[in-house]
Amino acid sequence: MGRGSRSPAGLALLLAASFVAVAPSALAQRAKPAPSSTLQAPADVETAEQLYAKLDYEQANAVAERVVKKSGLTHDQLVRAYRVLAVTYAVLDNEDKAKDAFLQLLTYDADYQADPNLGPKVNTPFMEARGSFRSLPTKPGVEVSASVSTNGGTLRVTTRDPTKMVKKVNVGYRWTSSGEYSVAPIAPGEAVAVEVSAAPAGRTRLDFYVQALDERDNAVLEAGNPNVPKSAFAEAGATGGGGKGGAKAESSSVFSSAFFWIFAGAAVAGGGTALFFALRPQDPPSSASLAPVIRCGAERCN
């Protein structure tokens, strides 16, 4: 048998040796984990809620953790993310983190109530967080009152922030039902005034909102928002924006005088009485009523 030829048994051994030499590297490539970005679910509130609804608490918790670290969250997104985060921490037996998340959630949404059907594993850290929340010197929140006419006016804003999470406050307003807001940044405080410009002609409704933001520009507290603002209406009779205004001028004609109408009423009443007697039916005259009667003592004279 020549050098170039191999027996079947020798060829089989060669193939086996080649597979042993190559297979480990090929298997290693196949087993190489995919990049972490492809394994992670999107960091948004909807995904966290969907995972929670599927009872995938670990993934729901991981997504919610990433969401609350983002910037520019709306108040609604922040509240919903912390609801998932707090409950999943509790379900996963991380009681301390659950308590902290529930306390943070209550500062954003003071009216939040944990579902009692979730059992003591969830309700115990919630009740502890609520006890800590109630011990705060004031209830976190923002309040705004409006005093406006079509000439302009004032929005007064009060920010209550016992946990010192608020870094700035934005106040937005507009005299139109759509379009851009005029936004004024103010410092947190008591009854801070924001001046409102005059209304355009024909406008009487003012839409406005207040948002308190943290260091990531997340809306941690709010009274209204750009999508669902609060509203106030200009006081009646005020002028502004080039429109006609002011109380209507009273007429000085004789017909506006109270005395004219009193005398006119009396004249009408008197005329009516005279007319009544003038038109009243009269009995026809008789001979007795027209001829005189002469008597001689008790008898009628002939």
Residues across the chain: 302
Q: What is the DSSP letter of 283?
A: P
Q: What are the structural domains, with CATH classification, of the chain?
A: 38-134 (1.25.40), 141-233 (2.60.40.10)
37 is written with which tokens? Answer: 């970005």
97 is written with which tokens? Answer: 């983190």
For residue 19, give the H/E element and its range. Answer: helix 8-31
Strands 182-186 and 192-196: unpaired
pTM, two decimals, is: 0.65
253 is written with which tokens? Answer: 């004609």
**What does the pLDDT profile of the chain (302 residues) look like in tens digits?**
444 444 444 434 443 444 334 343 433 343 344 343 335 678 899 999 999 999 999 999 999 999 999 999 999 999 999 999 999 999 999 999 999 999 999 999 999 999 999 999 999 999 999 999 999 999 999 999 999 999 999 999 999 999 999 999 999 999 998 899 999 999 999 999 999 999 999 999 999 999 999 999 999 999 999 999 999 999 754 443 333 333 333 333 444 444 444 444 544 455 444 444 444 555 444 443 434 444 555 555 54
CA distance linking residue 61 with residue 48, whole number of Å: 7
For 186, 236, 283, the CA distances from 195, given in Å and listed in that order, are 11, 19, 84
Q: Where are the alpha helices (DSSP H) in 32-165?
A: 36-39, 45-53, 57-67, 75-91, 95-108, 120-134
